[in-house]
Amino acid sequence: MTKIVTEGPAGYMPQSAPAMGVELPKEGEALLYGNVVTPEEAMRDAARALLTRDNPTIFPGPQVLWDWKDDVAEKAAAILDLASEIPNCKIIPMPDYRPKYPKIDVKAEINPNHPNLTILDNRIKACIFVGVHCHYANLSLRMIRAGTDCYTTALCAYMGHEEAMASIRDLHASDIQKFKEIVIEERNKLGIEWETTLPPENPSLEKEDYATLSPADYGEYRSLIMTKKGEHVTDVE
C-alpha cells in the first residue's frame, strides 16, 4: 500500500489530502493513509497505533459530549468502553473549541487554531477524534499532520476525513463497540497485559461546585439562560 497521508511533521503548509488525490470513501468503506480499505482494516491499523504509541488520547467533541440526539448517549458510553481497553488512554474533551486568547491550557483542551500545541505538550503519538464537527476536524487534523508525528484516527458520523491516517465514516455505537473488540484482539496478539479501567481525571482541571453556580458565572453567555424582562416561557416544542 502506498501511503499518501502519513504522520508528520509535514511542514508549515502541507499539501492537503484532497490535493494529493485522496477522495472520501463510499458507504461501507474507510480510509487508511489515504487509501480506500474496509472499515476493519482501518480499525486494526489504528488499534495497533493506539496500543504501541505513547500517550494514546481520545478527543471527544460536542456531538458526543451533549445528549442532543437519540443515539448520542449510546455512543458516549461506547467511547468510554473503548478508552477503558486502551492501556493508559487519556480523554481530553472538546466541548467548546472556539479560539481562546491570549492563552490556553494545552494540557486540558485542544484549540482548533493550535491543535499541534496540545498534541506536543501532552506528547501524544496516537489520538482519536470523535464527535468533532467536520469543518473543525479537517482543519485540526491537517495542522496536527503539519506539525507533529501523531497518528490520527477520525471516527465520523458522516462522510469521514481525508486528513486522518485512519478514517471511519457513518459511525454508530455498534461501530465503536466493534473497534473496541478489535483493540482487545490486537492487544492480545501483541501480548500486552492490561486490566480494564477508565482513564484518570485530568489533573489540570479545577474542581467545580455546580451547586454554587449562578448566571454571572456564564459570562457573555448568561443572556442565553436568563429570561428577558416580561418574558415567561410557558411551553416548548
Q: What is the pLDDT of residue 164?
A: 96
Beta-carbon contacts of 205 under 8 Å, excluding residues fewer than 6 positions away, are: 108
Does residue 48 carry a pLDDT above 90? yes
Is residue 205 a contact partner of residue 108, using CB atoms and an 8 Å limit?
yes
Q: Which three cell numbers, joined as nine digits, stand for 146?
A: 503539519
pTM of the predicted protein model: 0.84
* Separation between Cα atoms, residue 44 and residue 142, nearest integer Å: 22
Would the pLDDT of 34 be above 90? yes
Q: E-assigned strands of 75-115?
A: 90-91
Among 114, 110, 148, 103, CA closest to 129: 110
Residues 6+ positions from 38 with CB-CB distance below 8 Å:
29, 30
For residues 162-175, give the mean pLDDT. Answer: 96
Residues 6+ apart with CB under 8 A from 184: 85
Question: What pLDDT does residue 221 have?
Answer: 58
pLDDT at 131: 94
Share of the chain above pLDDT 70, in %: 88
Return the CATH architecture of domain 18-205.
3-Layer(aba) Sandwich (3.40)
Are the C-beta atoms of 7 and 165 separated by less than 8 Å? Answer: yes
101-115, 123-137, 157-171: the lowest-pLDDT one: 101-115
Please say if the pLDDT value at position 100 is more than 80: no
Mark 99-108 as b/e (b = at least 16 C-beta within 10 Å).
eeeeebebee
With 60 as the cut, is the pLDDT of residue 186 above it?
Answer: yes
Integer Cα distance of 188 and 87 in angstroms: 12
Instruction: Give me the pLDDT at residue 97, please.
Output: 80
Q: Which residues pair with 166 in a beta bridge?
A: 32, 153
Work out the pLDDT band at 143, boundaries 50, 70, 90: very high
